[in-house]
Chain A
Amino acid sequence: DAGITQSPRHKVTETGTPVTLRCHQTENHRYMYWYRQDPGHGLRLIHYSYGVKDTDKGEVSDGYSVSRSKTEDFLLTLESATSSQTSVYFCAISEGRYEQYFGPGTRLTVT
């Protein structure tokens, strides 16, 4: 998985609790992304980062925030988890434009 790890790999949490997912890369790539994947919707971009402390919103950013304090780490936070945020979350990285390399995913269940 191109030097990308995600933690945790599985998490079950209750509605209303905060949740932070971590993406760690060893490739020193500039760009990092968070996606969610749901049946019937495919992969959708939540947020992305184009450098340390530089982030921007994707197409489904409501309810999510991100932070990138180091090149290698990109954190996704659900401030107050809802059942609609039950999904599989993928982190991806890229050096420039074009191909992206994905992590193994985190399966999040909000009960």
Chain B
Amino acid sequence: SQKIEQNSEALNIQEGKTATLTCNYTNYSPAYLQWYRQDPGRGPVFLLLIRENEKEKRKERLKVTFDTTLKQSLFHITASQPADSATYLCALPMNNNAGNMLTFGGGTRLMVKP
């Protein structure tokens, strides 16, 4: 069956460093992958989408890579700030299609210490 794995342990880093979060998947050949941010008590917020034919995508201090051979996406936050502390979720389209239904990973909590 299809499975998405994100490190369930919190990632603690020092302010100013680069945070790198991992999303691994199995039994998928997704047309795209998305990353969301979720703060406690709030709904997820869309950050970035990367398509299968894109190796890398950037948005301000965020960078996402997508390796379809390794079945892995890496999410980087450069020059991290305490305000970046949140849980980050990756999401893939269900059942390998390019449609609307998403399957989410369990998320990784990032803590940026001043």
Contacts and interface: CB of A to CB of B under 8 A. Distances in A.
Which of A42, A44, A101, A103 gathers most chain B CB within 10 Å? A42
Interface residues of B, number: 21
A42 B106 contact: yes
A48 B43 CA distance: 17
Interface string B90-102: 0000100011111
A31 B100 contact: yes
B94 A101 contact: no
B13 to A, nearest CB: 23
A102 B43 contact: yes
A33 B41 CA distance: 19
A106 to B, nearest CB: 10
Which of B49, B94, B100 gathers most chain A CB within 10 Å? B100
A90 interface: yes
Given A42-B107, A98-B49, A90 B101 contact: no
Interface in B8-54: 32, 34, 41-46, 49
B94 A45 contact: yes
Which of B43, B94, B99, B101 gathers most chain A CB within 10 Å? B43
Interface residues on A, range: 20 to 34
Contacts of B104: 42-44
Contact of B101 (A1, A45, A96, A101): A45
Interface string B75-102: 0000000000000010000100011111
Contacts of B32: 98
B42 to A, nearest CB: 6
B46 A97 contact: no
Interface of B: 32, 34, 41-46, 49, 89, 94, 98-107
Given A59-B103, A97-B98, 8 more contacts: A31-B100, A42-B104, A50-B100, A58-B101, A59-B94, A99-B49, A100-B102, A102-B43
**Nearest 3 CB-CB pairings of A with B:** A102-B43, A43-B104, A99-B46
